[in-house]
Amino acid sequence: MVSVPDGLKPERTREEAFSIASAAAAYRARVGHLEVPCGHVETVTAFDGWPEEVRLGVWITTARSRGQP
């Protein structure tokens, strides 16, 4: 774990960003859109082979409110 000053969050790693992108792609492939409910959690397989839960609904909502693509 990386030591971070109080009140600051560590930057997202490439693996974490990839997990979010793959979760979004899996959701869209399954349901045909990205209108994800805020409470939705998507489970993806991480690089180490273990399942990882991604809070996709929260991430999509936050990204849209910040004006990110």
> CA–CA separation, 23 vs 56, rounded Å?
7
Number of domains composing the chain: 1
Instruction: Return the HEC string of the chain.
Output: CCCCCCCCCCCCCHHHHHHHHHHHHHHHHHHCCCCCCCCCCEEEECCCCCEEEECHHHHHHHHHHCCCC
Classify residue 40: in a domain, yes or no.
yes
Classify residue 7: in a domain, yes or no.
no
Classify residue 37: in a domain, yes or no.
yes
Classify residue 22: in a domain, yes or no.
yes
Taking only the tens of pLDDT, the chain with its 69 residues reads: 456 566 666 676 887 888 888 889 989 999 999 999 999 999 888 777 888 888 999 999 988 898 866
Contact 36, 4 (CB under 8 A): no
Residue 68 has a pLDDT of 65
Classify residue 59: in a domain, yes or no.
yes
pTM of the model: 0.70
Classify residue 42: in a domain, yes or no.
yes
Q: Which of 51, 53, 61 is nearest to 20 (CA)?
A: 53
* Structural domain that includes position 55: 14-65
Residue 37 has a pLDDT of 94
